[in-house]
Amino acid sequence: MYAIIGGSGLAKLSALQNTRRQVMRTPYGEPSGAMTFGTLAGREVVFLARHGYGHTIAPHEINYRANIWALKDLAVSGVIAIATCGGVRHDLGPGTLVVPDQIIDYTHSRKSTFFEGTESPVTHVDFTQPYSARMRRLLIEAAAACDESVVDGATYACTQGPRLETAAEIERIARDGGDVVGMTGMPEAALAREAGLDYAALGVVVNHAAGRGDSKHEIKLEDLDHVMNATIVRAVRILEEAVRRAG
Ligand code: HPA
């Protein structure tokens, strides 16, 4: 069974059928909401809305540890995270779907490891390739099979939020090599690695990042919903194909 973590724009996966919900508790507290089990393209999946089902949990307030721990407890065979983002690279404009292959983490003060406290020996995990090659391939092949274009490879820069970035911050991220920018990819991806879960993200670009393209002077938040809704439909098609292929 695969897990899907939905981001902004995907608080509810309406394509899910025969749903049932289960509240889970973890040593790290409660996940963002109840786990929703159901079938997608005839396959059993579990869905979790990262920001809560009412979209009330801000990126820095998400209990990433509880979310990932709960998925580990369910022994899911892979995690697909939907990551709404802004396009830093000029060619990654609104409506682009990307499967990132690298991460730069600009977040701070988030609970970002399972390995802490006096009971836990110091443990380092390898994170050279932060996403699972198998899950990335699954997404890219699924997109090709349903004729949805996705960009294979991008560096996802994760900022603290909840405010959007300044134009200078985006310039710096671009100099650092960031291609898209979002607020929730970390520590989620790192915790998945610590938990031994195969994790990949499907990035949904909903705006040009601050100072780029038509966001030169400001990011018009009222424009985002429209792009988001149109692009999420395509993302869901890829998700359906991905779980179908995974069997
Ligand atoms: N920056 C950070 N996170 C985002 C953006 C952005 O421009 N757009 C959507 N999520």
Q: What is the pLDDT of residues 207-222, one digit of tens each?
A: 999 999 999 999 988 8
Answer yes or no: is 47 within a domain: yes
pLDDT value, residue 14? 81
For residue 187, is the peptide bond before it cis, meaning its omega torsion is within 30 degrees of 0? Answer: yes
CATH number of the domain at 71, please: 3.40.50.1580
pLDDT value, residue 223? 84
Q: What is the pLDDT of residues 168-180, one digit of tens each?
A: 999 999 999 999 9
How many angstroms separate the most distant Cα atoms in the chain?
51
210 CA: nearest ligand 1 atom = 7
85, 165, 220, best to mutate for ligand 1 pocket (most atoms within 8 Å of CB): 85
Answer yes or no: is 98 within a domain: yes
**For ligand 1, atom 5: residue with the closest CA:** 86
* Ligand 1 mean position, distance from CA 205 (Å): 8
Instruction: Specify whether the backbone of 196 is left (phi greater than 0), alpha (psi in -120 to 50) or beta.
Output: left
pLDDT value, residue 44? 95
96 lies in which domain range?
2-116+128-246
Spatial neighbors of 14 by CB under 8 A, at least 6 apart, are: none
Q: What is the pLDDT of residues 97-108, one digit of tens each?
A: 999 999 999 999
Q: What is the pLDDT of residues 183-197, one digit of tens each?
A: 999 999 999 999 999
Is the pLDDT at 4 greater than 90? The verdict is yes
* Ligand 1 mean position, distance from CA 230 (Å): 17
Answer yes or no: is 25 within a domain: yes
Answer yes or no: is 122 within a domain: no
Q: Give the pocket of ligand 1 (CB within 6 Å).
A: 84-86, 159, 164-165, 181-183, 206-207, 209
β-strands 199-208, 78-87: how paired?
parallel
DSSP 3-state of 242: helix
Spatial neighbors of 224 by CB under 8 A, at least 6 apart, are: 206, 207
Mean pLDDT of all residues in 27-37: 95
